[in-house]
Amino acid sequence: MTELHSTLSGIGVSAGVAVGPLVIVSPPPTAPANEPPTTDAAAASTQVRDTLKAVADGLLAKAANADAHAKPILEAGAMMAGDPGLAGAIDTQLQTGKGITNAVAAAVDEYCAMFESLGGYMAERVTDLKDVRDRTVARLLGQPEPGVPSLTTPSVLAAVDLAPAETATLSVETCLGIITSAGGPTSHTAILAAQLGIPAIVQAEGILDVPFGTSVALDGGVGEIIVDPSEAEQQLLLDRKARREKALAAGSGKGTTKDGHPIALLANIGTAADAHKAAAQDVEGVGLFRSEFLFLDRDSAPTVDEQTATYTEVLQAFGDRKVVVRTLDAGADKPLAFADLGHEENPALGRRGIRLGVVRPDLLDDQLQALANAYEATGGDLWVMAPMIATRQEASWFAEKVRSKGLPKVGVMIEVPAAALRSFDVLSEVDFASLGTNDLGQYTMAADRMQGALSTLLDPWQPALLDIIFYACDGGAKTGHPVGVCGEAGGDPLLALVLAGLGVSSLSMAPSKVRAVRTALALHDLHQCQQMAAAARASVGPKEAREVVLSMADPVMVDLL
Amino acid sequence: MATREVAIGSSVGLHARPASIFVQAATATGLPVTIAKQGGNPVDARSILGVMALGAKNGEVVTLSAEGDGADAALDGLVALLERDLDAE
C-alpha cells in the first residue's frame, strides 16, 4: 500500500495542476480457473441471458448521456451484448459443463478469433467484444463493471491505461486529471488529455495502490503526484496554477521570440470537426492535418468527391490561414481493408506512408486530385506533404505528382533519420519540411514508440534526437526552405525554445498547448534560444539537457511547465 | 419457407451501421429470419455478430429465408432495406 502524504512521480504529458479524490478504473476481471463446472445448463443459460441484458441496458443508459462520438461505440456494444447468436454460443459452452464465466469467455473468444482473421474493420470490433465480455464476467462474479465509472463529482482518474472507448465519455467538467501506471508520452491517453487540456501523468508507478477516494494532487507539467496533500502543499500547487494562468493570459496573436523572430504557432488536427474547433482558437493555421480518418473503418477508398468536400470544408474553416495536409499515412500498423499489403513483421519499418503511396499510386492520385479541387474552390493557403520520406528520389517523385496537379506548395515529413541527415538533398526537391518528432525519435533511438518501458529512449530531449533535428534544420537554412515541427515535442514550452534555437520556423501542436508555447517564446530572444539549443546538445542525457535549459530560462518558465 | 435473393446496396458492404440497421429490422419482424451468402451456411439475421462475420460486400448477392405468418411481406421489407445504400443515408 502506498503511504499517505507520499510523493509519486511519472512523466508529465499534459500540463496543469489538479487536486481531487482519486477514482481508480477497475481492471477487467478474468474468468477464474477454479470455477465450479456447470451442472444445470438451463439455469446457467437464464442467468447469462439476464446478465447480458443488464450489460446491454447499462451501455444504452451510458449512450443516452454520451456525445456524438461515444454514442455509436456504446450502442454497438449494447447490440453485441443483446445478440441472440452470442447467447446461443454461450449455451453451447455451458452444455459442455464449463463454468459460467469461462463459458462466456470461451464463446466471446471464438468470435474474437473469427473477427481477427477477417482483419480490418472487423478486427477493430474485437475491442468492443472484449469490453462486453469483461462487463458480463464482472457482473456474473458480483463485481462492478470495469471501465471508467460515471463520475458524479469532479475526480482524478487513475488506470493502468485507458482505451479509446473509455476516454470517449470523459468530460473536462468531471475529470480533473488523469494518471496512468503504464502508457507513454505518445499513448492515446496522453494525446487525448493534451487535446482536452486535462492535466495528465503517465508511467506513475504505485498510483494503483492508493486507496479509492484518497485526495491526490498532481502537476502534469513536471509529473509529480502528492498523495493526501497537506493544505500547504495544495496551496503551493494552486498558487502555481494561478501564476501559470496569469502568465498565459498575457499573450495573443502570432508567435515570436522576444526580439521579434517569427515562429508560427499552428494546430494539429485529425478531422473536419477538429478543424472547426481549432479555427476558433488563436492559432496561425494548421501544421498537420492527418488525413487518415477519411480512409479508416471502411471497405473502399473514399471517392475524389467525398475527399474534395472534406478538404474544402477544412480550408474554408481557416480562410487565408495556412493548412498543411499530410497525405495518407497508412501501413501494416494502421491497416486499410482496400490497401492491405499483407502481414509485416515490423510494420513501423515496413511499407507505410509514402511507401504505400508508391505501391498504390491510385490512392495518392485521387487524394491529390481532391486537394487540387479544394484548392481551386477555395484559393486557401494549402500546403501538401508526404509522410515517411527517406530519400531525395522519393521527395522528387512526390513533388512532381503534387506540382502536376497545380498545387502551390509541396513538402515532406522528416521522420526518417536518413532524410534528416540529407535534408539539403531532400529539401532541394520540395518547398518545406515538417519534423514528425515522435517517429523521428523512435527511428533515431530504435525504440518502439508504443513500448512504454522504453520511454527514456523516446524522450524528445535525447541529445541524439536534437542533433538529428539540427541537421534537418541546417539543410533547411542552406536551401532557404522552412522546417517546422509537428510532433508532440513542439507543444512542450521549454523544448519549443530549443527547437526555435535549432532553426525551426513553425511549431504545430494540440491547440490547447499553443498559449504556453507562445508565452515561452515571447520571454526569450532568438540568441538565448540558440544558446539553450547548444547547451542541450552538449548534455550527456535527456534529463541533463532539460535541466540545463530550464536553468538558463526565464524564472516564469517553471510555472508554464 | 419464403426466400428472397438480393444484392447488397450499401457501399461499405453489410457491416458497421448498415449491419446494425438490418439486424434491428430483422429482429423487429418477430420471425426467425436467416441470411446466407451464395453457397454459404445461413446465419441468424437477428445476430449482429453473425451478420458482421458474414462479411457480405457491396454488390454481393445474399439469400434471406423466413418461416411463419407474414414471412413474405417481412422479407420484401428486408430486401428493400438491403437494396439501399444505408451507409450514405
pLDDT digits (tens, 9 = 90+) for A58-117: 989 888 877 776 677 788 889 999 999 999 999 999 999 999 999 999 999 999 998 888
User: Can you tell me the mean pLDDT for A451-474?
Assistant: 93
Distance in Å, alpha carbon of A539 to nearest chain B alpha carbon: 52
What mean pLDDT is reported for chain A? 90
Which of B35, B52, B57 is best to mutate for the A interface (most A CBs within 10 A)? B52
A111 closest CB neighbour out of B15, B16, B49: B49
CB count in 10 Å sphere of residue A529: 29
Question: Same domain for A199 and A85?
Answer: no
Distance in Å, alpha carbon of B76 to nearest chain A alpha carbon: 23
Record: contact A115-B52, CB cut-off 8 A:
yes
Which of A114, A299, A336 is best to mutate for the B interface (most B CBs within 10 A)? A299
Residue A383 in any domain: the answer is yes
Enumerate the residues of chain B whose CB falls inside 8 A of the CB of residue A114: 53
Residue in B43, B71, B67, B66 with CA at minimum distance from that of residue B56? B43
Q: Is A340 a residue whose pLDDT tops 50? A: yes
Residue A398 in any domain: the answer is yes
* pLDDT tens profile A122-138: 777 787 888 899 999 99
The answer to whether A115 contacts chain B (CB < 8 Å) is yes
Q: Is A288 a residue whose pLDDT tops 60? A: yes
Question: Same domain for A387 and A519?
Answer: yes
The answer to whether B53 contacts chain A (CB < 8 Å) is yes
Q: State the Cα–Cα distance between residues A224 and A237, nearest whole angstrom.
A: 10
Q: Where are the alpha helices (DSSP H) in A22-69?
A: 41-65
The answer to whether A113 contacts chain B (CB < 8 Å) is no
Enumerate the residues of chain B whose CB falls inside 8 A of the CB of residue A76: 20, 48
Q: What is the pLDDT at residue A168?
A: 65
Question: Same domain for A117 and A133?
Answer: yes
Record: contact B15-A122, CB cut-off 8 A:
yes
A83 closest CB neighbour out of B13, B17, B49: B49
Q: Which residue has the higher pLDDT, A484 or A171?
A: A484
Q: State the Cα–Cα distance between residues A300 and B62, nearest whole angstrom.
A: 20
Question: Same domain for A473 and A551?
Answer: yes
Residue A522 in any domain: the answer is yes
Question: Same domain for A487 and A342?
Answer: yes
The answer to whether A117 contacts chain B (CB < 8 Å) is no
Q: Is A241 a residue whose pLDDT tops 90? A: no
Domain end (from A246, A272, A297):
A246
User: Can you tell me the mean pLDDT for A417-436?
Assistant: 98
* pLDDT tens profile A198-239: 999 998 989 988 988 899 999 998 889 999 999 999 898 888
Q: Is A152 a residue whose pLDDT tops 90? A: no
Q: What is the pLDDT at residue A1?
A: 43
CATH of the domain at A238: 3.50.30.10
Q: What is the pLDDT at residue B81?
A: 93
Q: What is the pLDDT at residue A358?
A: 92
Record: contact B55-A118, CB cut-off 8 A:
yes
Which of B47, B60, B87 is best to mutate for the A interface (most A CBs within 10 A)? B47
Q: What is the pLDDT at residue B40?
A: 87
Q: Is A175 a residue whose pLDDT tops 70? A: yes
Enumerate the residues of chain B whose CB falls inside 8 A of the CB of residue A118: 53, 55
Record: contact A297-B55, CB cut-off 8 A:
no
The answer to whether B79 contacts chain A (CB < 8 Å) is no
Domain end (from A140, A175, A210):
A140
Q: What is the pLDDT at residue A25?
A: 86
* pLDDT tens profile A500-512: 999 999 999 988 8
Question: Same domain for A316 and A363?
Answer: yes
User: Can you tell me the mean pLDDT for A14-31?
Assistant: 88
What band does A3 get if pLDDT is binned at 50, 70 and 90? low
DSSP A226-284: EES--HHHHHHHHHHHHHHHHHHHT--SS-B-TT--B-EEEEEE-SHHHHHHHHTSS-S
Structural domain span for residue A267 = 250-560
Residue A318 in any domain: the answer is yes
The answer to whether A119 contacts chain B (CB < 8 Å) is no
Catalytic residue among B9, B10, B13, B15: B15
Question: Same domain for A320 and A193?
Answer: no
Question: Same domain for A375 and A487?
Answer: yes
Residue in A65, A293, A76, A273 with CA at minimum distance from that of residue B17? A76
Record: contact A79-B43, CB cut-off 8 A:
no
CATH of the domain at A129: 1.10.274
CATH topology (fold) of B2-83? Histidine-containing Protein; Chain: A; (3.30.1340)
Q: What is the ipTM of this complex?
A: 0.88
State the sign of the Cα–Cα–Cα–Cα dihedral A490, A493, A499, A505.
positive
Distance in Å, alpha carbon of A449 to nearest chain B alpha carbon: 30
* pLDDT tens profile B18-68: 888 999 999 999 999 999 999 888 999 999 999 988 888 889 999 999 999
Enumerate the residues of chain A whose CB falls inside 8 A of the CB of residue B58: 299-300
The answer to whether A358 contacts chain B (CB < 8 Å) is no
Q: State the Cα–Cα distance between residues B22 and A76, nearest whole angstrom.
A: 13
Question: Same domain for A133 and A157?
Answer: no
Residue A36 in any domain: the answer is no
Residue A33 in any domain: the answer is no
Question: Same domain for A109 and A181?
Answer: no
Task: Calculate Rg over the CA atoms of chain B.
Answer: 11
Q: Which residue has the higher pLDDT, A12 or A390?
A: A390
Which of A59, A60, A80, A83 is best to mutate for the B interface (most B CBs within 10 A)? A83
Q: State the Cα–Cα distance between residues A268 and A148, nearest whole angstrom.
A: 27
Q: State the Cα–Cα distance between residues A238 and A559, nearest whole angstrom.
A: 11
CB contacts under 8 A, B 7-46 vs A, are: 11-13, 15-17, 20, 23, 43-44, 46
User: Can you tell me the mean pLDDT for A284-312?
Assistant: 91
* B15 annotated active-site: yes
B12 closest CB neighbour out of A122, A129, A298: A298
Identify the helix (H) or strand (E) that includes residue A375: helix A361-378
Q: State the Cα–Cα distance between residues A525 and A35, nearest whole angstrom.
A: 68
- Sheet strands side by side (includes A175-180): A7-9, A224-227, A215-219, A17-24, A155-159, A175-180, A200-202, A11-14
Q: Is A332 a residue whose pLDDT tops 70? A: no
Record: contact B20-A76, CB cut-off 8 A:
yes
Domain count, chain A: 3
CB count in 10 Å sphere of residue A230: 11
Domain end (from A95, A112, A140):
A140
Residue A454 in any domain: the answer is yes
Enumerate the residues of chain A whose CB falls inside 8 A of the CB of residue B23: 79
Q: Is A290 a residue whose pLDDT tops 50? A: yes
Question: Same domain for A108 and A186?
Answer: no
What percent of chain A is predicted at pLDDT more than 90? 63
- Work out whether strand A432-435 and strand A409-414 pair parallel, antiparallel, or are unpaired: parallel
Q: State the Cα–Cα distance between residues A528 and A534, nearest whole angstrom.
A: 10
The SS3 call for residue A147 is: strand
A86 closest CB neighbour out of B12, B49, B55: B49
DSSP A184-218: -TTSHHHHHHHHHT--EEES-TTGGGSPTT-EEEE
CB contacts under 8 A, A 58-97 vs B, are: 72, 75-76, 79-80, 83-86, 88
Q: Is A381 a residue whose pLDDT tops 90? A: yes
Question: Same domain for A191 and A134?
Answer: no
Q: Is the pTM value of this prediction over 0.95? A: no
Residue A449 in any domain: the answer is yes
